[in-house]
A and B are shown apart, each in its own frame.
Chain A
Amino acid sequence: MKRTTLLLSFLLLSAAAPLALASSFAGTSAGASSAGSSGSSGSSSGDDKLVEQAQEDAAGFVASEGLLRTARLEAALRVLRERDPAARQQDDLALARAILARQ
């Protein structure tokens, strides 16, 4: 797992303290990314970034044996299948495990 950008959320709320109560108010850009899905992937392509960001979604999917399906997971599965013919042969659960194995 990549290191989270902890600082960004620190800044958001520590700097914008009373205002940060509302996100429509809590200005600054800093998108406090989540632990499992953030990281400095500025150089990777949008597709790679999507798959990387879908790891937490894939974990929920694997843990729930397919019950918890998010749009981000669906999008990542589709990207993998569009890019790799071999992935088209695998079922969703196997591909979700493959996403977890990539971290």
Chain B
Amino acid sequence: MRRHLAALAALWLVLATAQAAPVFELDDAGLSPAQRDATRQLLDQAVVRLPVAWREALDRPIAVRWRVDLPDGVHGRATRWAIALDRKLLDGIEAPGGSADQRASAAAAALTATLHELAHLYDRTPRGRLSRDPRLLDLAGWQVAALGPGRRGRNDLRDRSPDAYELASPREFVAVNLEHYLLDPAYRCRRPALAAHFDAHFGHPPPPPGGACAEGLAFVQDDPGSADPLSVIDPERIYAVDYLLAEPNAQPMSRWGHSMLRLVVCAPGRTPGPECRLDLQHHLVLSFRAFVDDVQISSWRGLTGDYPSRLFVLPLGQVVDEYTKVELRDLSSTPLALSRSEIAALVERAAQLHWGYDGRYLFISNNCAVETFRLLHDGVPRLAGRALAGITPTGLLRRLRANGVLDEAATPEDRDLAARQGYYFAAADAHYDALFAIARAELALDVADAQAWLAAAPTTRAEALRRAGLRDGAALLVLESAALRREQALAQDELKRRWLGRSGLAAASGRDDVASALQEYLRLGGAFSRPAAWLDGIEGYGLPQQAEREALRARAVQDATRRRAHAAALEDGVMALLSPQRRERVAATRANIVLIGERVRVLAGDHAGP
């Protein structure tokens, strides 16, 4: 018995608790007794932090060595049931001349390195295998391939990483994240889904709600008109998530439509329920789009993935205007059948992408439909098992329906009713002819239809505007707004033809002031498309917490103000680039809007009476 114990003394037994604990075999050649003690302490500290399942899985002796020959910046290395640690860490802990702070920081680095290497060993055990866990790979950012099977080799969840090394491989991701899971109390605030996944994996009960995390989820809205773009969303306030589809139209690149998600956020004070569907001013749209950051654009770059694909968060009103009024496309909004907790998880995933995702737009394999599919797949584990993958927005809608993921019970069949209740937003031009017929009858106009009316000279229209009554005036107000949008579209065409030759806007125009203002505007727009950039140089990773949000708000408000100022200046500059005829038409149409707007305002006021 005594001999047996003596033999064991050559080994190192670290019994942190009465439960099974890993056995370490320290190669102590060349270590002083103090260094041996320090090493023992370090391993003790690591082991007490390990979850029970992890300790139990490390069921073979682990060789431990301090090495002087690790490459620069490498603190440790794990091989088969052996870990090596950088000798410099030990020297730092034991440095006789070092300050207490220096020693503590070396000890912290050594603890991190030890946990990292133990994580690798654990990951290789049959109990571990986290780096091959499909759900972990989803959360980590090694997403499923659009044209599966398999996963993408790249991980674009790169912004706001705690340690860029995690992106090297799924194995490193697991080791880095387990480090933070064990050592950083804020990990579950910053990467809640991963923390919950580790909790479940290790059989830990979920922590009580509340805690020290910042409330809600922070998003930066890309609303050019807004002075304060930072908004904090409480997932509890989201009644539903809709699949929002911009219907395809005849334009070559719009043939497939555009996929988005709509968050049906309830107005403050309203209990989440069907009533929230009309709180349109609070609804948000999640839209993956290519961000075009250059004045000289190449379609080739779009095909080869040169443009960033980012998750934009937009007010619903802006999206409705953009599609129905500018592009004249229908929007359909179909509720997804999700539970409350699935909605919360989906929106949290969206926030994680909003802050961390910097993808590449690829016309086939990484377009809006693919990105939206992946957001659903990765955000709601239940959906990961469904055959939803598709590369077109209408195809995704079909698959959502076929897999029972849509909740169409409440969606009215009747288009008018659907339009009233916000399940459908009709292209604005659907009613132009009917509106024009009202004005034509009332004012005896000698023009065939709405299209001809919009194309007529603004001065011709002005004559009718001056004698309009309330009802026909209201019709003409709608049409005049349409006329202005038409003029804008034509002006854009003209700008393209005149100034965007091979040599680009700056060189061709000689208008450096406009070109540089445009560059600056696009640069500011870039910040809105990648909000993580505002947090460069500020401590933190994952979802921004309180201190980051304060810094963020200040910077975002400043850039929003600057962008609006640039927008105003640019508007004048761009007008100067138009031909005199086009400029005249734009100006006259604007004057018409003021004219008919004022007339309708007065008539409507009179009608209301005292």
Contact = CB atoms under 8 A, between A and B. Distances in A.
- On whether the two chains bind one another, the answer is yes
Interface of A: 1, 3-19, 21-43, 46-47, 49-50, 53, 56, 58-60, 62-65, 68-72, 74-75, 78-79, 94, 97-98, 100-103
Task: Determine which residue in B320, B505, B600 has the highest number of CB atoms from chain A within 10 A of its CB, and name it.
Answer: B600
Task: Determine which residue in A3, A36, A60 has the highest number of CB atoms from chain B within 10 A of its CB, and name it.
Answer: A36
B299 A18 contact: yes
Task: Determine which residue in A1, A5, A12, A101 has the highest number of CB atoms from chain B within 10 A of its CB, and name it.
Answer: A1
A35 to B, nearest CB: 4
B431 A36 contact: no
Given A18-B298, A36-B481, A60-B478, 11 more contacts: A6-B484, A6-B491, A10-B492, A19-B297, A27-B307, A28-B292, A31-B222, A50-B317, A53-B321, A63-B471, A103-B597
B477 A39 contact: no
Given A25-B290, A62-B604, A72-B280, A31 B480 contact: no
Interface residues of B, number: 112
B318 interface: yes
A14 B496 contact: yes
Interface in B309-352: 312, 314, 317-323, 325-327, 329
Contacts, number: 280
A31 B224 CA distance: 7
B304 interface: no
Q: Which DSSP category, helix, strand, loop or mixed, fits chain B's interface?
A: helix
Contact of A60 (B289, B307, B435): B435
Closest 8 CB pairs of A and B: A22-B253, A71-B422, A42-B227, A7-B571, A35-B481, A63-B475, A1-B597, A31-B318
B475 A23 contact: no
B254 A21 contact: yes
B325 A34 contact: yes
Contacts of B291: 27-28
A22 B258 contact: yes
Interface of B: 222-228, 246, 251-254, 256-259, 278-282, 288-295, 297-299, 302, 307, 312, 314, 317-323, 325-327, 329, 361, 363, 367-368, 393, 416, 419-422, 425-426, 428, 431, 434-435, 438-439, 470-472, 474-475, 477-478, 480-482, 484-485, 488-489, 491-493, 495-496, 499-500, 505, 518, 521-522, 525, 528-529, 560, 564, 567-568, 570-571, 574-575, 586, 590, 593-594, 597, 600-601, 604-605, 607-608
